Amino acid sequence: MVSQADRIYETQTQAIARQLLAATREGRSLFAQMRDQMRWDDKLLGWTMGNPNLRVQLFRFIDCLPALRSKPEIARHLQEYLGDASVELPSALKGMLNFANADSMPGQVAATTVSTAVETLAHKYISGENTRQVLKTLERLRKDKMAFTVDLLGEAVITEAEAQSYLDRYLDLMTQLTEAAQNWGTVPAIDLADGEPLSKVQVSVKLTAFYSQFDPLDAQGSEARVSDRIRILLRRAKELGAAVHFDMEQYAYKDLTLSILKRILMEDEFRDRSDLGMTLQAYLRDSEQDLHDLIAWAKQRGTPLTIRLVKGAYWDQETIKAVQKDWQQPVYNHKPATDANFETMTRLLLENHEHLYAAIGSHNVRTQAHAIAIAKALEIPRRRIEFQVLYGMGDKLAKAIADQGYRVRVYCPYGDLIPGMSYLIRRLLENTANSSFLRQNLEERPVEELLAPPIAEMMNPEPSSLLTPHSSLLTLFQNVADTDYAEIEARDRIQNALQSVRQQLGKTYLPLIDGEYVETSETIESVNPSQFTEVVGRIGMSHVEQAEEAIAAAKTAFPAWQKTPATQRAGILRKAADLLSQRREELIAWMVLETGKPVKEADGEVSEAIDFCRYYADDMERLDQGYAYDLPGETNRYHYYPRGIVVVISPWNFPLAIPMGMVVAALVTGNCALLKPAETSSVIAAKITEILVDAGIPRGVFQFVPGDGASVGAHLVKHRDVHMIVFTGSQAVGCQIYASAAILQPGQKHLKRVVAEMGGKNAIIVDESADLDQAVQGVVQSAFGYSGQKCSACSRAIVLDSIYDTFLNRVIEATRSLNIGLAESPSTQIGPVIDAEAQRRIRDYIEQGRTEAEVALEMPVPDSGYFVSPVVFANVLPSTKIAQEEIFGPVLAVMKVQTFDEALTIANSTPYALTGGLYSRTPSHIEQAQAEYEVGNLYINRGITGAIVARQPFGGFKLSGVGSKAGGPDYLLQFLEPRVVTENVQRQGFAPIEGAD
């Protein structure tokens, strides 16, 4: 039911919008300007509007451009990006790029023309590269009766040095701006409101930039570190008379950002400040509720502050992240839904103008007209509302609003063009998107269409067809979502689980043989590597005789199990997956305490274990259908049969996902499985046993056989009744298993199959065109996540000479900024290594490294557990031990090369071929790496750890292992024997003919 107020608002909105729209259309369109002036920056922007493929490639080139250091480099990249066959070039651009050599004069002319055009384009949206330039811009805005807020562009804050620099630069910026403001005359339209003086200077800041390790999981620690710097900023702003506004960034940080600001702005020191503000993004589905919460909070606070209402600048990023994480999308899928929500929030905000002042940020004429209509109807005082636009966008709209007597503020980013390029790309995307009001207005769409109310039904969530996975495997398989620790309920659950599991420490876990838990003569203690005095559990160690009993039980159980329908076996796996989901937090807690794995790392492992169960269940049902190839008079049937008894020897570093994946692969294919886990993670293996038993695995089909590797493990490998060994661990043990399994034992009637994943010496190459923010973060996370104890971890960074020093310095500072401590602490990024032997071995390698290279970073660590300092070695030679041997700890060797070919040669120089990475924005380098990089899993422009089932099936070759990739479409085939049955169906010269009458 449309209310009387709604009708009045809509009538006024239409009238005001038509006035504003007419003002924005004065003069010629952008396209007319391009035709007449032939400006290259305008041409580039115009071409992207009519050519989607050119738009993508050109924006990717612009993103890369600041990293290119010479005209030949620019020319070469221009051809690589725009020379793609799928890109239809305008004739002018095609002619300019028609050069044979990037070093040629035509190549240099093309480079100069395009780079100059992009720089000109950037200056349209970035208010200056230094304080002198930005002051000139601000003074010009004030002459046009426009207020401003200044945002400092900068590199991503990934080190504490950068976080401190961010604060210092803002303190300096506010000082310079207020000193300049002393010479500015008063402009009543923007400096006064209702007789009240307003701050001439305003800055906009990002909370996450105040602390490099800002993380919702560590809400308390993040708040403490951020709040200290906020207080410093706010105190200095008060001394100077400057206003401060807090921007909003990615959705993951939204709740924590609001929580921190609400708390700090209620402190007595800041509670009476009305020159402060926060931001809400209308494209978020929960933004209206956030506004309701802020209104209630503001009433309690008693002093109004400003809410900047914007539509949001990270739609693509938020949508893609949600799809990749299997999370619900936090943003509306369609722009009309965002527009409708914006109008709802505008009305709510303006109807509560006594408690919250409004800053309406939009370039949409209807959106701004709607706000003006409400402001007029409610007779809102001018102090309580202003309108905002981005620098370089909506200039005519801003002037039209100002001409109506309203205060207009221009958001002015300033800083170097290199760190500002991501901001530029967002502006270009916004300007050229089909749904952009600016574009539609430039195209002079009908007024009725431009000013129509947003369609309410578009608010319903709908999946975006653009984000549907292209792979049939991904289409069929839905990965389970990791936990989103931005949600406070998720953080509470894991803390409760840690407390609960702590109450269960010290119990004894016995082997499971033929469906019964059996006593053992020997037990070992599994301790918490963060605090090695704490016993997590006691493990009953099987002896060889009990291993024999387990094999005999499996042999007895096998005939019935192999005849169990595949759908029934798959059902048990799906039940196990459900149990894993139900026990997620508990299992995370066990991994944290028994193996020193930080919470987020352990959470991802639970997801992987669940995915293994469901993916292999689906895949076995597919394989069970077999294949048919019939001819007249002949049928051919291709079917799979289980091998028999499978011994699973699992590692400690992925104590849940890897053993679960290997075991359920054996079980769902109809084999019987014996699990011999690593001694240091046997409690978690016991939890796997509980889950499989509860899921309904029959007695004897699966058995838990913890024991000494040299005796029990070796006995199982050599046993004549074992058909297959599945192993993940060190190269030395893997090769020994491979050799032992190859020996035919007396009475053995089969050759054993061995699947062995044996680690790697993984490298990430960083070339001259790389996004260094991404590269530094990716290398540091890949090298030091879980203290480098992943077979996929990065142990070598191979960096091109021209960026080597910059990269190395940032890696050092980023690593120095990581928090080292107990694995259970939410702030910890680097926990302990697994045990004393690992600690000794890694430290020996570090000592060896001191003789081979330069120690660029070493840090103090706690002495309460098995901690090893993260170490960065610089100027490492390819032939050294630390560059060739797997260390399996937090040690990174950084190597310098002159060419990309040399980088690939060094990357391929070890006997391993597991994972590798490349950070590059050079298409030819990416193409060459895809063809020549000798790794099983190659990751481009992302970290090299964290493979996801079905998306990135995992495994390598050379000495990294043998066998198909875990979580891939051919993994189960290793557990099966294929058989073909051919039948001659002719009888006396005739054969059944299918479909005959």
Under a CB-based contact definition with an 8 Å cutoff, are residues 870 and 830 in contact?
A: yes
- Residue found by looking up tokens 């590597």 in the block: 529
DSSP state of 423: H
894, 814 in Cβ contact below 8 A?
A: no
- In single-letter form, the type of residue at position 714 comes to A
- The secondary structure of 492-505 as a DSSP string is HHHHHHHHHHHTTT
Ramachandran sector of residue 626 (left: φ over 0; alpha: ψ -120 to 50; beta: rest): left
CA distance to 153, 544, 649, per residue, from 743 (Å): 65, 19, 19
Bridge partner list, 193: 196
> Closest Cα partner for 497 from 585, 394, 563?
585
What the block records as the tokens of 11 is 């009538």
Which token pair is 92? 């002018």
- The residues pairing with 639 across neighbouring beta strands, listed in sequence order, are 979
Q: Give which of 862, 869, 873 is closest to 890, Cα–Cα.
A: 869
Q: Considering only CA atoms, which of 426, 384, 34 is closest in space to residue 250?
A: 426
Which residue among 64, 672, 791, 794 is the active-site one?
791
How many other β-carbons are positioned within 10 Å of the β-carbon of residue 277?
Answer: 22
Cβ burial of 382 (10 Å; 0-12, 13-18, 19+) is: middle
Q: How far apart are CA 519 and CA 715, in angstroms?
A: 20
Question: Cα–Cα distance between 340 and 346 in angstroms, integer?
Answer: 10
Residues in the chain: 997
Q: Between vectors from CA 431 to CA 62 and to CA 248, what angle results, nearest 5°?
A: 90
Neighbours of 107 (CB within 10 A): 22
Look-up: residue for tokens 């992943």? 790
Beta-carbon contacts of 914 under 8 Å, excluding residues fewer than 6 positions away, are 757, 759, 760, 762, 791, 792, 935, 936, 937, 955, 956, 960, 961
Rounded to the nearest 10 degrees, the angle between the axes of helix 40-50 and helix 52-64 is: 130
> Buried (b) or exposed (e) across 681-696, using 16+ Cβ within 10 A?
bbbbbbbbbebbbebe
- Residue 976's Cβ-side half-sphere holds a number of Cα atoms within 13 Å equal to 21
* Active-site entry in 162, 601, 605, 757: 757
- 387-400 burial code (b ≥16 CB/10 A, e <16): bbbbbbbbbbbbbb
Alpha-carbon span 914 to 758, nearest angstrom = 9
585 tagged catalytic: no
Cβ contact 757:728 at 8 Å: yes
Q: What are residue 928's phi and psi, to 5 degrees?
A: -65, -40
Q: Is 791 tagged catalytic?
A: yes
Instruction: For residue 235, give the H/E element and its range.
Output: helix 219-240
CA-to-CA distance for 811 and 794, rounded, in angstroms?
13
257 and 250 in contact (C-beta within 8 Å)? no
**Rounded CA separation 352/299 (Å):** 10
Query: SS3 breakdown of the chain: % helix, strand, coil, rounded to 5?
Result: 50, 15, 35
Contact 157, 212 (CB under 8 A): yes
**Nearest partner of 765 among 873, 859, 895, judged by Cα:** 895
- d(Cα 687, Cα 803) in Å, to the nearest integer? 48
Question: Residue 683: CA atoms inside 13 Å, Cβ hemisphere, count?
Answer: 26
Q: Which residues are catalytic?
A: 757, 791
